[in-house]
Every structure is written in structure tokens, then in C-alpha cells.
Amino acid sequence: MNDNIVEFKNIYKKYGNKELFTDMNLDIPKGKIVGLLGPNGSGKSTMIKLMNGLLHPDKGEININNMKPSIETKKIISYLPERTYLNDWMKVKDLVEFFEDFYSDFDKDKAEDMIKSLDIDINEKLKTMSKGTKEKVQLILVMSRKSDLYILDEPIGGVDPAARAYILKTIIKNYSEESTLLIATHLISEIENICDEVIFISKGKIVLQGDVDEIREEKGKSIDALFREEFEC
Ligand SMILES: Nc1ncnc2c1ncn2[C@@H]1O[C@H](COP(=O)(O)OP(=O)(O)OP(=O)(O)O)[C@@H](O)[C@H]1O
């Protein structure tokens, strides 16, 4: 037993004959907000799918709260995938009902409060919503479950910059301190102030992991500036 919610031990993963991860090791401690940062194609979504048991490593071991990815680990993870799996024809209020039926850990009052505070119409269908509003709804649903681990894959890319800060504040307000929140994103400047830790990944390799304040102090610059430098094209 240990205090990590996620562990990757010597993970090897290839797609066809293209090697993505050759020997990846990773520990994500419990109770932190962690940013998973890396350019397009670096492997963020693959890492997340491995954590969720949607993909399996070719070699190595993954532990989620000291368990192998399985039905048991799915119960403790609330996952926002990169692409929606929800039915477009459903109204916001139908989605809330659906989540309530489907997840025993879903807090309907919390979801309804967030929907109200973000000014979303409960009678609107996903199909007719803007990309940003659709993202807000999905994020609210995922964050209204009571989970040990929240995994958000590019949660707010379509939301206008002015609303992003508000949404992030809403998330943090509703986030329980014992839980872990992993956010994969390119929008570093927006999330660096809410993250305790960051993980930089490049071409399938973890190039940096650490405490946000320590990294800023040590490098003398923001995480955003560091990321831009590290991954300059
Ligand atoms: N199903 C697949 N079949 C073949 N190659 C894949 C598959 N999924 C991902 N890849 C490749 O693996 C690499 C990592 O992809 P992944 O989606 O994990 O990256 P990412 O960091 O999440 O990228 P993005 O920020 O663009 O979403 C890319 O080169 C991608 O082309």
C-alpha cells in the first residue's frame, strides 16, 4: 500500500509497430491537482486511456489506488474523455437524470447548482449547443460525481477565455481535497495557478514532473513560459 493514486511501472506501449512508450514510470500522489502537459501527439490521451483500462500496455504494470485497472477502478474514476460519448439529442435535464441513474455517487444538487451558476438552460439539447457550452455541461456532470480520481482530457478547449477562469473556480470550489484531479491540456496559463503539480510529456517520455511552486522558483519562470521554451517548434 502507498499514497499514490496512479502508478505506471515500466510501461511499454506501441501502436502497430510504432513505439510510443518504451519504459514509462510515473507516480501520481493522492489529493493533488495535477496538470498533464504536452504538445499534440505526445501521448497524453494514451496515458489517460491506460489509466481508465480502455487500452492495455504491451508490457509493464499499472496500479490505480493499488488495484489493476478493472471494473473496481472504474468505480473510483470520473472520466471526461477527449470526445463526447453522450447522446446529442438529450437535453441537459435528461443528462442529469441519466447520470443520476447510472452513477450512485452522482450528486444531482451539486450538478444543478453548477448548471445554474454557469447560466445553462436545462431544456437545451446537446445537439444545438455551442462547443463551449457542451464542454461545460460534460464537465459539470463529471465533476458532480464523488470520485477518488477525476481525469479530464482537454476539458475547456472550446470555452471562451473569459469563462475559463470562472469554470475552473467552480470546479475547484466543488472539488474534495482528498480526491485527485488530473487535467490534460495545452491551456497551461489558465490551469497553472490551480495545479499543485505538473507532468510534462514529450514524444512519449516524461521530461519533467514536480511541484508547480518549486519548479517556478527553481527555473525562475512560469510553467507556461517553461512549456513554450521546452516545446518550441
Ligand atoms: N489508435 C491509434 N492508432 C495508431 N496510432 C495512434 C492511435 N492513437 C494514438 N496514436 C498515436 O500515438 C501518439 C500519441 O497520441 P495521443 O492521442 O496519446 O497524444 P496526445 O498527447 O493526447 O495528443 P493531442 O494533444 O493531440 O490529443 C500520436 O503519434 C498518435 O498518432
From first to last of its 233 residues, what are the pLDDT tens digits of the chain?
Answer: 678 999 999 999 999 999 999 999 999 999 999 999 998 899 999 999 999 999 999 999 999 999 999 999 999 999 999 877 788 889 999 999 999 999 999 999 999 999 998 889 999 999 999 888 998 999 999 999 999 999 999 988 888 887 887 788 777 777 777 899 999 988 888 888 889 999 999 999 999 999 999 999 999 999 999 888 877 65
18 beta partners: 15
Instruction: Report how far residue 42's alpha carbon sits from residue 129's, in angstroms, rounded to the nearest whole number.
Output: 30
Instruction: Report how far residue 196's alpha carbon sits from residue 29's, in angstroms, rounded to the nearest whole number.
Output: 11
- 203 lies in a domain? yes
Number of domains in the chain: 1
The reported pLDDT for the residue numbered 98 is 94
DSSP SS3 for 153: strand
Range of the domain at 216: 4-84+148-230
Decide if 63 contacts 4 (C-beta within 8 A): yes
C-alpha cell at 197: 503539480
- 67 lies in a domain? yes
Among protein residues, the one whose CA lies closest to atom 6 of ligand 1: 15
Q: What is the CATH number of the domain that holds 196?
A: 3.40.50.300
- 191 lies in a domain? yes
Which value does ipTM take for this structure?
0.96
Q: Which amino acid is at 200?
A: F
Instruction: Report how far residue 141's alpha carbon sits from residue 137's, in angstroms, rounded to the nearest whole number.
Output: 6
Instruction: Report how far residue 50's alpha carbon sits from residue 57's, in angstroms, rounded to the nearest whole number.
Output: 7
Ligand 1 pocket mutation pick from 11, 13, 17, 46 by most atoms within 8 angstroms of CB:
46
Task: Give the torsion through C-alpha atoms of 61, 152, 194, 72, to 10 deg.
Answer: -50
- 109 lies in a domain? no
- 50 lies in a domain? yes
- 119 lies in a domain? no
The torsion angles phi and psi of 149, rounded to 5 degrees, stand at -135, 120
Shortest CA distance to 40 belongs to which of 82, 84, 86? 82
- 131 lies in a domain? no
Residues with beta carbon inside 6 Å of ligand 1?
15, 20, 38, 40-46
Decide if 141 contacts 99 (C-beta within 8 A): yes
DSSP SS3 for 205: strand
Atom of ligand 1 nearest to the CA of 201: 21
Among protein residues, the one whose CA lies closest to atom 18 of ligand 1: 43
Other beta carbons less than 10 A from residue 72's beta carbon: 12
Distance of CA 121 to the CA centre of its chain: 25
The reported pLDDT for the residue numbered 233 is 56
Other beta carbons less than 10 A from residue 1's beta carbon: 5
Whole-number Å distance, alpha carbon 20 to ligand 1 midpoint, is: 9
- Predicted TM-score (pTM) of the model is 0.93
CA distances 103 to 37, 79, 108, Å, are 29, 12, 10
- 76 lies in a domain? yes
Concatenating the DSSP letter of every residue in 4-19 gives EEEEEEEEEEEETTEE
Whole-number Å distance, alpha carbon 42 to ligand 1 midpoint, is: 7
Distance of CA 217 to the CA centre of its chain: 25
